[in-house]
Amino acid sequence: MSTDIDPAAYAERVREARRKKDEFFREHPRSPVPRAARDDFDGLRYFDPDPEYRVEATLHEHDDPERITVETTQDGAREYDTVGEFRFRVAGADVTVQAFRSPGDDHRLWVPFRDATSGEATYPAGRYLDLEEPDDRTADGDWVLDFNDAYNPYCAYSEAYECPLVPVDNWLDVAIRAGERLPEL
């Protein structure tokens, strides 16, 4: 966590972003929540905001990014480039996660992960972080991985969606008690 963050202001920023997401899920035509469930939708379930799960880390870029094929929840496949890895400490553990890019997308990193909460408190197939250039960069060039923003893929809410599964390299032994929890629909 960055030492220059006001914890109260940070928590309010996270809560406001969550309110907006809940509104989108409740009202927007492109919401992954099935129409029949929207009237009873009270919002997503989250862990409480915790600045300890906001990590600043260097992307250790691979010299020769590997293109991998990632299976999906509907027996399909998608391709991603493994561009580098983040190494950091979170929840009392040293962690390494791979960062991916969709071919042709030079401004966004995708960091999917499964952790010790997967299948119990969080979606069994894992959660995602999206990192955007320049919004998720620090002044010195590191990336901000804010696990309070970790989200469930749309397939957690509806079988109509096909979502990429988390590559085994990003299955973590540590519990990341931040971000979205198991949905109740």
Q: Is residue 126 part of a domain?
A: yes
Is 39 in contact with 27 (CB distance < 8 Å)? no
Question: Can you tell me the mean pLDDT for 169-177?
Answer: 98
Domain assignment present for 181 = no
- Domain presence at residue 116: yes
In this prediction, residue 5 has a pLDDT band, given cuts at 50, 70 and 90, of confident
> What digits encode the pLDDT tens for the residues 12-64?
999 999 999 999 999 999 999 999 999 899 999 999 999 999 999 999 999 99
Give yes or no for residue 134 having a pLDDT over 80: yes
**What integer pLDDT is reported at residue 106 of this predicted model?**
86
Report yes or no on 94 lying in a domain.
Answer: yes
Asked whether residue 58 is domain-assigned, the answer is: yes
- Is 59 within the bounds of a domain? yes
Q: State both tokens at 6.
A: 């006001």
- How many domains is the chain built from? 1
* Residue 111 burial by Cβ neighbours in a 10 Å radius (0-12, 13-18, 19+): buried
Q: Per-residue pLDDT averaged across 126-149, rounded?
A: 96
What's the half-sphere exposure (Cβ side, CA atoms, 13 Å) at 25? 25
182 found inside a domain: no
**Looking at beta carbons, which pairs linking 124-129 to residues 24 or more positions away fall under 8 Å?**
125/73, 125/153, 125/155, 125/156, 125/163, 125/165, 125/166, 126/153, 126/165, 126/166, 126/170, 126/171, 127/151, 127/152, 127/153, 127/176, 127/179, 127/180, 128/152, 128/153
Q: What's the domain range around 83?
A: 7-170
In a domain, residue 179? The reply is no
The pLDDT > 90 percentage for the chain reads 90
pTM over the 0.85 mark: yes
Coil, strand, or helix at residue 95? strand
* pLDDT tens sequence across 63-101: 999 999 999 999 999 999 999 999 999 999 999 999 999
pLDDT score recorded for residue 185:
56
Percent of the chain having pLDDT more than 70? 98
Strand partners, 143: 57, 137
Which pLDDT belongs to residue 3? 55
Q: What is the mean pLDDT of residues 157-180?
A: 96
